[in-house]
């Protein structure tokens, strides 16, 4: 006969930062640094040079000596700035006001440092990816900038020596010449004239600043109001340390009763079905609060509300700074319109990917980053593993990271599971007349 206990789900590994786990994250940083250095090296390699026409008006703009946003300033704005802002937000606002009284300071600081690390790691992934992709594409395509002819200083007197193709028409001789026609002695200026596509300023600024906008929106809960999906858990599951708030009907650390529903199959924090019961069923105050809770949920319009507009401005400011930096490349005659749009798209993709790689969805994650990998999956999970956060032992109850510092909630859950397993083992086998469950 099978046990009546529900099949437990794999639990997150206790957050023990072993040498193997720490080294795996150090290696993550090394990979990002290598990608950034590789992008810088690509920027020093001579690009391919696409043939061009001396009569092309799209590459006949003047050379701007002083850029509106130079490369060093752009780096400070799209990388150094987000690093500082993420640092301030993580240390000042995390873990927020959901921390129960009596929570160890060591646990609070672990959460602060982890949110800071995840924020920086996502930023590094976004910027390094955009930088490497952009620099590689620049060299591959070798597209002339709008100010190429001003950089080139072509040898017009001997143009016939450099013609490589073209067909004449009524408005142009149609001649395409090679880059060898250029006589500019400043090689760096000339080589950079063939790095128009895609825009590095657009991709890197969007990668860093759009990521920062998403990070701010996440931490300040700035999102479209939304209806809770089916199976939406209670708000306590989005608190900083859920198992320190829920005691399955016991007193919490602050002496208050738990109002959570109890059902082993669906988890301790799920909304109740008809078969479920209140954790303190005989308490009229609990029943009254439950009915008020249900009445609130029945009004759809009261399930969500729009955040303050000033927070929206705060979150969108980095994004519009990225738009300004990208636009400056147009009126500085450094890039064609499509180059800027394509670079902006690269930055958008890397920013969103990096944010979702390390952070929960803005509308569902309550501002938290995903937790660290488990110690035994620090480097590899393999086929059949659905999460890097769970250990390889499939038959464990759900837990929380404060178990690593002896959290009472985790110990209580472990004792409960242990007692239930022992009772199941002592249960006598069923008689033959009752049949066998299959």
Most confident of 229-233, 266-270, 374-378: 374-378
Q: How confident is the model at residue 393 (pLDDT cuts 50, 70, 90)?
A: low
Look at the block and give the residue holding tokens 């007692």: 419
Report pLDDT digits (tens) over 36-62: 999 999 989 999 999 999 999 999 999
Q: How confident is the model at residue 251 (pLDDT cuts 50, 70, 90)?
A: very low
Average pLDDT over residues 16-27: 84
Report pLDDT digits (tens) over 311-324: 999 999 999 999 99
DSSP track, 86-114: HHHHHHHHSS-TTPPTT--HHHHHHHHHH
Residue 284 pLDDT exceeds 90: no
Percent of the chain with pLDDT over 90: 46
Please tell me which residue, 271 or 301, carries the higher pLDDT value: 301
DSSP symbol at 175: -
- Residues 400/409, Cβ–Cβ less than 8 Å: yes
Q: What is the pLDDT of residue 18?
A: 82
Cis peptide before 198 (omega within 30 of 0): yes
Residue count (the chain): 438
Report pTM.
Answer: 0.74
Report pLDDT digits (tens) over 234-249: 566 666 666 665 544 4
Average pLDDT over residues 374-392: 77
* Closest listed residue to residue 8, CA positions, set 384, 414, 430, 376: 414
Residue 435 pLDDT exceeds 70: no
* Closest listed residue to residue 121, CA positions, set 86, 91, 152, 156: 86
Backbone angles phi, psi at 138, to 5 degrees: -55, -45
Q: What is the pLDDT of residue 373?
A: 81
* Closest listed residue to residue 363, CA positions, set 234, 208, 225: 225
d(CA 209, CA 207): 6
Packed helices 200-219 and 105-141: angle between N→C axes, nearest 10 degrees? 160
DSSP track, 255-315: SPBP--EE-TTT-TTSPP-TT-EESSTT-HHHHHHHHHHHHHHH-GGGS--PPPHHHHHHH
Report pLDDT digits (tens) over 173-216: 778 999 999 999 999 999 999 999 999 999 999 999 999 999 99
H helical segments located in 142-239: 148-152, 187-192, 200-219
Q: How confident is the model at residue 124 (pLDDT cuts 50, 70, 90)?
A: very high
Please tell me which residue, 107 or 326, carries the higher pLDDT value: 326
| Residue 128 neighbours by CB distance under 10 Å | 24
| Residue 277 neighbours by CB distance under 10 Å | 11
Residue 90 pLDDT exceeds 50: yes
Which residues have C-beta within 8 Å of that of residue 271, sequence separation ≥ 6?
231, 232, 233, 234, 261
Please tell me which residue, 271 or 24, carries the higher pLDDT value: 24
């Amino acid at each position: 006969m099978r046990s009546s206990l529900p099949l437990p789900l794999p639990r997150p590994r206790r957050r023990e930062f072993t040498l193997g786990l720490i080294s795996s994250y150090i290696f993550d940083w090394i990979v990002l640094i290598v990608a950034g250095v590789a992008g810088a090296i690509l920027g020093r390699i001579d690009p391919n040079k696409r043939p061009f026409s001396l009569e092309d008006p799209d590459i006949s703009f003047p050379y701007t000596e002083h850029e509106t946003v130079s490369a060093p300033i752009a780096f400070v704005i799209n990388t150094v700035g987000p690093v500082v802002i993420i640092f301030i937000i993580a240390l000042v606002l995390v873990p927020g006001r959901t921390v129960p009284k009596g929570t160890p300071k060591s646990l609070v600081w672990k959460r602060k440092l982890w949110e800071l690390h995840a924020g920086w790691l996502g930023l590094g992934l976004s910027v390094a990816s955009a930088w490497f992709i952009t620099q590689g594409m620049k060299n591959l395509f070798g597209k002339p900038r709008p100010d190429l002819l001003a950089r080139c200083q072509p040898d017009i007197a001997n143009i016939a020596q450099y013609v490589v193709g073209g067909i004449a028409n009524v408005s142009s001789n149609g001649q395409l010449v090679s880059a060898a026609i250029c006589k500019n002695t400043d090689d760096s200026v000339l080589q950079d004239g063939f790095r128009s596509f895609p825009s590095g300023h657009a991709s890197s600024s969007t990668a860093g600043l759009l990521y920062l906008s998403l990070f701010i929106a996440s931490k300040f809960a700035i999102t479209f109001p939304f209806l809770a999906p089916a199976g939406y858990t209670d708000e306590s599951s989005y608190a900083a340390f859920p198992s320190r708030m829920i005691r399955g009907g016991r007193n919490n650390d602050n002496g208050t009763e738990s109002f959570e529903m109890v059902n082993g199959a669906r988890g301790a924090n799920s909304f109740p079905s008809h078969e479920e019961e209140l954790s303190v069923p005989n308490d009229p105050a609990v029943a009254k609060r439950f009915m008020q809770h249900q009445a609130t949920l029945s009004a759809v319009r009261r399930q969500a509300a729009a955040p303050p507009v000033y927070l929206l401005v705060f979150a969108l400011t980095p994004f519009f700074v990225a738009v300004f930096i990208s636009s400056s490349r147009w009126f500085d005659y450094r890039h064609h319109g499509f180059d800027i749009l394509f670079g902006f798209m690269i930055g958008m993709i890397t920013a969103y990917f990096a944010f979702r790689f390390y952070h929960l969805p803005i509308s569902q994650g309550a501002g938290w980053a995903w937790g660290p990998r488990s110690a035994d999956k620090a480097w590899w999970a393999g086929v059949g593993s659905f999460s890097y956060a769970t250990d390889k032992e499939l038959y464990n109850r759900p837990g929380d990271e404060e178990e690593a510092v002896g959290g009472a909630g985790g110990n209580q859950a472990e004792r409960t599971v242990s007692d239930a397993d022992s009772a199941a083992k002592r249960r006598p086998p069923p008689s033959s007349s009752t049949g066998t469950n299959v």
